[in-house]
């Protein structure tokens, strides 16, 4: 199992491009199931989760061609509307095939999803929404079984804001008869990116970017070409990497407008931020100031950046309070940061981080995708070498991370 070795102390500097957003690419690739015609998706990152999803789609009968960051998919005939456990267990986003399969094939058998161990993320909102659209759904032996004579539009009001739930129901509603209104919809930029792709395929969607989506069903969708948005979480992670090392970097092919809450916190920590239409630059102070963070659905502070900011606070001046409101089990990285010398106290969903003057390299273990990114950020500041184990989590969400960090001057190597 691969490990990552990082020798801390280098001040990051330079310019690198941002990859396509994984959390936008995955639902957009699933949208290929909604049409017989080709869907060409540009700016798709090379990631383990993308490979897993493409293998799942191919198993269903989708013809797939990949040339660099461009993936061409054609689901002319879906031979098996089933997502088996062996392909679903490692990635929660595989649940996103459920809505398109029910809408187009009128049936689906999808394993309950896996993914990161960061708390309960039930799929009941997906199931309730599909039932409201006219599907019969039952869960047996770890599988969701859904059938319908044909979906019909309905008013959907999820009990909580759910990104994948909004995406699944949005895709299903595109081929439902009549009008569907999704209230309390997730407003994340990745949801809007999917909606724009669906519109390019012929869907009729109003309210994109708001918490109320109105979808007028159409008989069929057609092929399209669409470019995936830049990855805002990757952008934020590299900005944090530069900030903790006192560095100065510029990220190209970025979308700073999707990252306003993170940029505001970096500025509060003492960083100088500059932005353009497709780039963002950061210059860090000699020492960061501790900041308080409260995670919230978009446009609030993203939970996927919580671990990286906890890492920043470990060496900042003062103390920062971090409140996690999205997931109940997302402080597992705190124990690993303590192994590096961090001063962190946990009380339920709140962490109090008091900055120290130095961290020391040690062997630590990644527990989930974003926790591993937080450990990378801290390791860049720690004195000596840090070994991060179980970095398959990193490979699920960060494209060529050691190459990109190396281009900025970090001493990073993969141990196979």
Write out the catalytic residue numbers: 116
For the stretch 56-91, pLDDT in tens is: 999 999 999 999 999 999 999 999 999 999 888 878
pTM listed for this prediction? 0.96
Is residue 125 part of an annotated ligand binding site? yes
For the stretch 266-320, pLDDT in tens is: 999 999 999 999 999 999 999 999 999 999 999 999 999 999 999 999 999 999 9
Q: pLDDT band for position 117 (50/70/90)?
A: very low
Nearest Cα to Cα of residue 263 among 297, 296, 309, 307? 309
pLDDT at 271: 98
| CB of 153 closer than 8 Å to CB of 145 | no
Q: How far is CA 408 from CA 9, 248, 359, in A?
A: 13, 9, 21
Q: Does domain 3-19+230-415 have CATH number 3.65.10.10?
A: yes
Helix axis angle for 332-339 and 306-313, nearest 10°, is 30
Is residue 127 part of an annotated ligand binding site? no
Nearest Cα to Cα of residue 25 among 57, 60, 63? 57
Is residue 304 part of an annotated ligand binding site? yes
183 Cβ neighbours under 8 A, 6+ residues apart:
155, 156, 157, 158, 211, 212
pLDDT at 115: 44
Evaluate whether 3-19+230-415 and 22-227 have a shared fold: yes
The yes-or-no verdict on residue 366 having pLDDT over 60 is yes
Is residue 92 part of an annotated ligand binding site? yes
Which numeric CATH code is attached to 22-227?
A: 3.65.10.10
The dihedral through the CA atoms of 375, 377, 312, 383 has a sign that is positive
Nearest Cα to Cα of residue 139 among 122, 127, 154? 127
| Mean pLDDT over the full length of the chain | 95
Domain regions of the chain by residue span: 3-19+230-415, 22-227
| CB of 205 closer than 8 Å to CB of 170 | yes
Q: pLDDT band for position 114 (50/70/90)?
A: low
């Amino acid at each position: 199992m691969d490990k990552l070795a990082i020798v801390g102390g280098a001040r990051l500097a330079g310019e690198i491009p941002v990859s396509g957003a994984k959390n936008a690419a995955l639902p957009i690739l699933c949208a290929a199931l909604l049409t017989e015609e080709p869907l060409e998706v540009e700016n798709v990152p090379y990631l383990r989760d993308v490979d897993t999803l493409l293998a799942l789609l191919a198993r269903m009968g989708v013809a797939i061609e990949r040339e660099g960051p461009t993936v061409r998919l054609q689901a002319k005939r879906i031979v098996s509307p089933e997502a088996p456990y062996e392909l679903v267990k490692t990635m929660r986003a595989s649940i996103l095939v459920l809505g398109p399969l029910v809408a187009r094939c009128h049936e689906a058998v999808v394993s309950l999803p896996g993914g990161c161990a960061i708390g309960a993320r039930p799929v009941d909102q997906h199931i309730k929404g599909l039932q409201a659209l006219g599907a019969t759904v039952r869960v047996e032996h770890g599988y969701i079984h859904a059938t319908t004579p044909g979906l019909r539009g309905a008013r959907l009001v999820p009990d909580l804001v759910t990104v994948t739930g909004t995406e699944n129901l949005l895709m299903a509603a595109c081929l439902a008869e009549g009008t569907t209104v999704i209230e309390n919809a997730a407003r994340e930029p990745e949801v809007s990116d999917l909606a724009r792709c669906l519109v390019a395929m012929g869907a009729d969607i109003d309210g994109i970017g708001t918490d109320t989506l109105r979808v007028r069903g159409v008989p069929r969708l057609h092929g399209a070409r669409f470019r995936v948005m830049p990855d805002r979480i990757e952008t934020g992670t590299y900005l944090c990497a530069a900030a903790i090392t006192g560095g100065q970097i510029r990220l190209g092919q970025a979308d700073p407008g999707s990252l306003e809450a993170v940029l505001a916190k970096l500025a509060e920590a003492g960083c100088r931020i500059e932005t353009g239409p497709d780039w963002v630059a950061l210059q860090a102070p000699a020492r960061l100031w501790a900041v308080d963070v409260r995670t919230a659905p978009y446009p609030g502070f993203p939970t996927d950046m919580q671990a990286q900011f906890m890492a920043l606070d470990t060496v900042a001046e003062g103390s920062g309070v971090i409140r996690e409101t999205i997931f109940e089990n997302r402080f597992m990285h705190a124990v690993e940061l303590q192994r590096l010398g961090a001063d962190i106290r946990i009380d339920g969903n709140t962490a109090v981080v008091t900055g120290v003057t130095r961290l020391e390299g040690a062997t630590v273990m990644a527990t989930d995708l974003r926790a591993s990114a937080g450990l990378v950020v801290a390791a860049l500041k720690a004195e000596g070498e840090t070994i991060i184990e179980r970095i398959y989590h990193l490979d699920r969400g960060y494209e060529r991370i050691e190459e990109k960090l190396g281009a900025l001057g970090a001493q990073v190597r993969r141990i196979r």
